[in-house]
Amino acid sequence: MSRRTIRLGVRLQHRLMQLGDATSARREHGMTTAEYAVGTLAAVAFAAVLMVVVKSGAVKSALSGIIQAALSVG
């Protein structure tokens, strides 16, 4: 292969990579908004489950015991 052929191949490969990046950027436009929405829904669901667990009697008494023990250490 000649040097000219190699240079043309490298330039072509570089140009194709640039086009691929532009195409994927256009295809994923707005994707971050959807990802934030899914993340927010997951956080809300986790908070709801956590509230149910923390409000249960066993966890409430355990947390109360830990807090009282921490406050009485002085």
**Total domains, the chain:** 1
Residue-wise DSSP of 51-66: HHHHTSHHHHHHHHHH
pLDDT number for residue 29 = 64
Are 60 and 54 a contacting pair, CB within 8 Å? yes
Q: State how far the alpha carbon of 63 is from the alpha carbons of 57, 68, 69, in Å.
A: 10, 9, 10
d(CA 14, CA 65): 65
Q: Find the domain containing 30 and state its range.
A: 3-71
| pTM value > 0.75 | no
pLDDT in tens, 14-57: 888 887 766 665 666 666 788 888 989 999 999 999 999 888 88
Q: Please say whether the beta carbons of 53 and 59 come within 8 A.
A: yes
Q: What is the predicted pLDDT for the residue at 60?
A: 87
